[in-house]
Structures are given as C-alpha cells and as structure tokens.
Amino acid sequence: MPPKPEWAQLRRRPCSYCGNPFKPTSPDHRFCSPKCRRAWHYHGGSYEKLRILLEKRLAGIEENLDQKIRTAVAVALTAE
C-alpha cells in the first residue's frame, strides 16, 4: 500500500510489544521496529491477550472497590 499524505499527521502511539511511543507511517502500524514485530509474532501475541485479560480484571476490581468505598462512606455519613 503506498503511503498517503494524511498519514504524515498520524499521532505517536505506544508499540504493541514494548510500549515505547513511536510515530506510525501507516494507520495500521503497531510496532516501533521490525524487532518488536517479530518478537510479538514469535510469542504468538500471548502478551497482548494477557494484557487485555488483566486490564479487564483490573477494571472489575476497581469497580468493586469503588462500590465498597461508596457503601462505606454512605454508612459512615448516615451513622453521624
């Protein structure tokens, strides 16, 4: 695919493998270097799957904690 002029305006994004920010030269660039791209494919993208799973778990834990704090505050306020 030949590069399009508007692609020069693409914002920096984190590399899907190492997380370092890089300037993509096409909208579907996900890696900062060929080394990271190869490493990601070598590991079968398992880190990516794990990262998504952990982010979901973490969001659930945060939600649960938020709810507990709200309940505790509400109890403390009504006790006064």
- Distance, in Å, from the CA atom of 54 to the CA atom of 10, rounded to the nearest integer, reads 28
Contact 18, 36 (CB under 8 A): yes
> C-beta of 32: minimal distance to Zn ion in Å?
4
Residues in contact with Zn ion by CB under 5 A are 15, 17-18, 32, 36
Give 7 or 18: the residue with its C-beta nearer to Zn ion. Answer: 18
> C-beta of 39: minimal distance to Zn ion in Å?
8
Q: At which residue do the structure tokens 């880190």 appear?
A: 47
> C-beta of 51: minimal distance to Zn ion in Å?
14
Give 7 or 22: the residue with its C-beta nearer to Zn ion. Answer: 22
Q: CB-based contacts of 33: which residues, under 8 Å, 6+ apart?
A: 15, 22
Helix or strand run (H / E) with residue 14: strand 13-14
Give 6 or 11: the residue with its C-beta nearer to Zn ion. Answer: 11
